[in-house]
């Protein structure tokens, strides 16, 4: 009884209603243009909240669970709507895992996520793609595709959580639309080579190194401040 009273008291002090976490997000499904059904967590923010599309690390070994619920809800509280996607071949989504990051189909996952969010009334005129590890590949591929297709809303910002040479599997950073976008590169000191090599890139690019850090979304464990660092960057650029 003492523990229950303590939990309720703490929640009240934080102005967070008990049970809010479960109510803030729902599991949703939608299909890509090539017929692959994807599953995702949809966490809507307030009216006109900028959208964040989250892409996890390499499938099938990873899934949208890479982004802890606490991280997603922190970003919602920071003023964003969040769509956390199981990439094709990962988690509860159908499809071929290699197609999520090799070839032209990975960007279709992003396009389907964006279309779903738009159908839910999300603000897709200001949105960001957050990719972890080779989730960065599809973020960059989609941004490049959107730059050549007026019917598609391209991202207003990108976050590469431990990008690498795999990020440029289909699209080179140099000469791409990414050079004109705000891009945040997060990385740990042991895996800094690729991210550091971009230092002479776009004028709106920023870099954040963490020690001890962790690969991709694993940074959230030892470096919880990464959640706020990403939110601050995106609040600055998704006004």
pLDDT, tens digit only, all 239 positions of the chain: 433 333 333 333 333 332 334 448 999 999 999 999 999 999 999 889 999 999 999 999 999 999 999 999 999 999 999 999 999 999 999 999 999 999 999 999 999 999 999 999 999 999 999 999 999 999 999 999 999 998 899 999 999 999 999 999 999 999 999 999 999 999 999 999 999 999 989 999 999 999 999 999 999 999 999 999 999 999 999 98
The pLDDT score that the predictor gives to residue 13 is 33
Q: What is the 3-state secondary structure (H, E, C) of 172-207?
A: CCCCCHHHHCCEEEEEEHHHCHHHHCCCCCCCCEEE
Question: Tens digit of pLDDT for each residue in 105-146?
Answer: 999 999 999 999 999 999 999 999 999 999 999 999 999 999
Position 29 in a domain: no
CATH of the domain at 144: 3.40.50.1820
Whole-angstrom distance, CA of residue 148 vs CA of residue 122: 23
Whole-angstrom distance, CA of residue 125 vs CA of residue 122: 9
Position 137 in a domain: yes
Position 30 in a domain: no
Name the packing angle between helices 135-146 and 106-119 (round to 10°). 70
Position 222 in a domain: yes
The pLDDT score that the predictor gives to residue 159 is 98
Position 228 in a domain: yes
The pLDDT score that the predictor gives to residue 97 is 98
Domain boundaries, position 214: 36-237
Position 90 in a domain: yes
What is the percentage of the chain residues whose pLDDT exceeds 70? 90
The pLDDT score that the predictor gives to residue 21 is 41
**Token code pair at residue 219:** 């940074």
The pLDDT score that the predictor gives to residue 114 is 97
User: What is the distance of C-alpha 235 from the center of its chain?
Assistant: 14
Whole-angstrom distance, CA of residue 114 vs CA of residue 112: 5
Position 12 in a domain: no
Give the CA distances from residue 65 to residues 7, 69, 182, in Å, rounded to whole numbers and listed in that order.
Answer: 25, 8, 26
Number of domains in the chain: 1
Question: What is the number of other CB atoms lying within 10 angstroms of the CB of residue 196?
Answer: 13
Q: Note the pTM of the prediction, 2 decimals.
A: 0.90
Position 10 in a domain: no
């Amino acid at each position: 009884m003492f523990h229950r009273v303590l939990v309720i008291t703490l929640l009240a002090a934080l102005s967070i209603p008990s049970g809010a976490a479960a109510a803030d997000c729902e599991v949703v499904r939608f299909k890509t243009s090539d017929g692959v059904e994807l599953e995702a967590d949809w966490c809507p923010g307030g009216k006109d909240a900028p959208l964040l599309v989250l892409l996890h690390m390499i499938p099938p070994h990873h899934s949208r669970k890479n982004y802890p619920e606490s991280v997603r809800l922190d970003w919602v509280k920071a003023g964003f709507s969040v769509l956390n996607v199981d990439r094709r071949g990962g988690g509860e989504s159908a499809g071929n895992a290699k197609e999520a990051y090799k070839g032209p189909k990975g960007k279709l996952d992003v396009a389907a996520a964006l279309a779903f969010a738009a159908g839910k009334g999300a603000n897709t005129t200001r949105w960001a793609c957050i990719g972890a590890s080779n989730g960065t590949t599809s973020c960059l591929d989609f941004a490049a595709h959107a730059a050549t297709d007026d019917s598609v809303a391209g991202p207003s910002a990108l976050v590469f959580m431990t990008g690498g040479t795999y990020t440029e599997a289909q699209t080179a950073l140099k000469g791409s639309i990414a050079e004109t976008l705000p891009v945040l590169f997060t990385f740990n000191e042991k895996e800094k080579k690729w991210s550091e090599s971009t230092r002479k890139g776009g004028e709106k690019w920023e870099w954040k190194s963490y020690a001890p850090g962790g690969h991709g979304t694993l940074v959230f464990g030892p470096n919880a401040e990464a959640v706020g660092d990403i939110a601050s960057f995106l609040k600055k650029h998704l006004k």
